[in-house]
Chains A and B, each alone.
Chain A
Amino acid sequence: MKFVDEFRNNEYSRKLVEKLNNITSEKINIMEVCGTHTMAIFKYGIRDVLPPNINLISGPGCPVCVTPQSYIDTAITLSEKNDVIIATFGDMMKVPGKKGSLSKAKAEGIDVRIVYSPMDCLEMALENPSKKIVFLSVGFETTAPMTAITAIEAKKNNIKNLFFHTAHKIVPPAMEALVQDKDLNIDGFLLPGHVCAINGTKPYEFLSRDYNIPGVVTGFEPIDILQGLNTLVSLISKKEYRIENEYKRIVKTEGNPTALEYLNKTFDIVNSSWRGMGIIPKSGLEFNSEYEYFDALKYFNIDYEEYDGSPGCKCGEILKGKIKPTDCPLFKKLCTPENPVGSCMVSSEGTCAAYYRYHKVVK
């Protein structure tokens, strides 16, 4: 597959690994913000080939993990209404709420359908005129434009039975909250390549300018990640504080202005609650007044009361990179992929889920 296979080349990977192991021996803490990076790093066994002085910390870039438990509980409440079809990405199916998960609800006969794309909800709405389709729109800047487009298309085509239960968040404010935490000891960030494809590199310049922390925009193929790490470790060891882009085939400095326009057209930026991190100012997206009639909570008159997660669950501290999953007393004992307590364990890219599988092997 073009633009994929070439970036999985064995020879190049091994050369980059060799290079990475010869930059510095000082102890370095790097945070990979994006959950998809966590998964890719796990998938390709990259931790295995890192020099022992480089410590990778998984950050809060997993939209499923940072969505408060109240979101899932509300989704299940919505699903219980007779004329509602819940449409969702597969990622949300197993996330545990107080009343169980969407998977469990589906098993009990509730109409929950997995979609690959929100655009499929437009067809679902047309095919089921007597039903109300509620799409669970979760995700960061990479995914939010899709929700915007779907709402715009629904408006254009006069589709009146499609609604969204939204929990879109934006990444840079969360990163600012992270670096303000004095307990956090991060020397550099692997920046989320596909979020940057939308919002460009400028929103991250504050990291180097105000906090002397370098960041490298990184892609997701093994070569991209190794190259990102190489550049970042170099910057850190040379004390060069700037943002570099190692994903130029996708990310432009200005991002995707068309995508940003769609976001501006449809959403307002609001304060948002990140599970385990509290409320982060101006870090969420909600439909603006022109599109708010698509909001499922407004349409169904639901008094949305937000609450975080299960007691004893340390997802919040794990998301901030303060502790490892192995430091959580519930990890592997009460909290496992089969019986997850928090979303870090059940999300496909949750740090705990990745650790659970990874830590059984190697060395």
Chain B
Amino acid sequence: MQGGLQMDDTITLSHGSGGVQTNRLINEVFFKYFGNDILNQMNDAAQVDIDFKKLAFTTDSFVVNPIFFNGGNIGKLAVCGTVNDLAVSGAKPLYLTSAFIIEEGFPIKKLEEIVKSMADEANKSGVKIVAGDTKVVEKGSVDGIFINTSGIGRIYENVNINCSNAKAGDVVIINGTLGDHGMTIMCERNKLGLEGNLKSDCACLNSLVDSMLEAYAGIHVIRDATRGGVAAVLNEISEFSNVTIALEENSLPLTEEVKGASEMLGLDPLYIANEGKLCVFVPEAHAQKVLDVMRKHPLGSNATIIGKVTQESGQKVYLNTVVGGKRLVDMPSGIQLPRIC
């Protein structure tokens, strides 16, 4: 075998055909960054010892465009998204798989950058990537690169976090500003000509969740607010818990950038995607303790109370507005589009 992978090259169909080129790609890119004791055994299936009874198991696919954006890339999203799904289920994330579908012609240097990001996030969050797969498809079959990650975690024993656990009197806390990721993507993708320091909030939230649960293990609900924004996740919780949630317009934290972009484009930050935000439902008596602990964590320094679960019957989410009126915050329908009217 001559030479190694030419890093200035692009991915070709032979990189996915299971032969020499595939092995080169796996060794010189994937194993170089993901390498760990389990992955290095190179079995067809990862074999792990577990000493617990209940595991959390999740999967997610990532197709974001643009692939690289301020604050991250598709790889970082792929690791954080799955780690977060495990964390908000009250589990300690342990192992991830990652499967890649790559368009022929995709630059190997860019693939390496993506894989390195994934390894960095995995290390930061304490998970190991233990199995994977690579397929290469013809030009035009995918948009550059698609990634799927699946993950398992150990469910904490003394914790009962569930979408249906919200109760009247619970306080709703968010760990920071709304709409950062979605607004960044929208502006970069659609070339809307807006310039500023918009940055995705993409991050692994498991260590934040751990510190919250340490402060108070009786937290009722933790959900990460992704597509559809905070509005979507609160509506889901309202439905599954059969409660009414009231938000305070004055309390919604926003960066100046998201505020400015929303005003110009006619968008509502409640409906814009996040990738590093949690909605937390805590009984009122314990809310301050959880809030304090969140604020001490780098991913929760802007944590704030944005509303509460009221005594009203029915499943709805509404906003108490600055004029003292109420506005329904319903489930988003379709994608958010910029408007001039």
Contact = CB atoms under 8 A, between A and B. Distances in A.
Q: Is A in direct contact with B (CB under 8 Å) within the complex? A: yes
A93 B337 contact: yes
Contacts of B321: 43-45, 222
A1 B263 contact: yes
Interface string A145-167: 00000000000000000000000
Contacts of A10: 250, 322-324
Interface residues of A, number: 47
B323 A222 contact: yes
Interface stretch (A114-122, A209-217, A253-261): A114-122
Contacts of A115: 192
Contact of B325 (A47, A91, A348): A47
Interface string A349-363: 100000001101110
Contacts of A139: 340-341
Nearest to A36: B341
B174 to A, nearest CB: 20
A173 B46 CA distance: 73
Contacts of A360: 316, 328, 330
Contacts of A62: 341
A181 B230 CA distance: 45
B318 A114 contact: no
A361 B341 CA distance: 24
B266 A44 contact: no
A89 interface: yes
Given A4-B263, A360-B316, A360-B330, A116 B324 contact: no
A8 interface: yes
A8 B333 CA distance: 27
A238 to B, nearest CB: 25
B335 to A, nearest CB: 9
A45 B325 contact: yes
Contacts of B318: 361-362
Given A63-B341, A90-B338, A91-B339, A45 B193 contact: no
B19 interface: no
Contact of B322 (A39, A44, A91, A143): A44
Contact of B341 (A9, A48, A103, A348): A348
A13 B322 contact: yes
A147 to B, nearest CB: 12
A184 B325 CA distance: 28
Contact of B323 (A46, A93, A116): A46
A142 to B, nearest CB: 9
Contacts of B341: 35-36, 39, 62-64, 89, 91, 139, 347-349
Nearest to B187: A116
A347 B340 CA distance: 11
B330 A45 contact: no
Contacts of A63: 341
Nearest to A225: B323
Interface in B309-341: 316, 318-328, 330, 333-334, 337-341
A134 to B, nearest CB: 17
Nearest to A337: B333
Interface in B201-257: 250, 256
A10 B328 CA distance: 19
A42 B264 contact: no
B260 to A, nearest CB: 7
Contacts of B324: 10, 13-14, 17, 45, 48-49
Given A226-B323, A358-B328, A114 B334 contact: no
A17 B324 CA distance: 9
Given A45-B324, A226-B323, A348-B266, 4 more contacts: A13-B323, A90-B337, A94-B337, A348-B339
30 contacts: A10-B324, A13-B322, A14-B323, A17-B324, A44-B321, A44-B322, A45-B325, A45-B326, A48-B324, A48-B326, A64-B341, A89-B338, A89-B340, A90-B265, A90-B340, A91-B337, A94-B337, A103-B334, A114-B337, A116-B194, A116-B340, A139-B340, A226-B323, A338-B333, A348-B337, A349-B339, A358-B328, A360-B328, A361-B316, A361-B318
The 3 closest A-B pairs by CB, nearest first: A45-B325, A90-B337, A48-B325
Interface of B: 190-194, 250, 256, 259-260, 263-266, 316, 318-328, 330, 333-334, 337-341
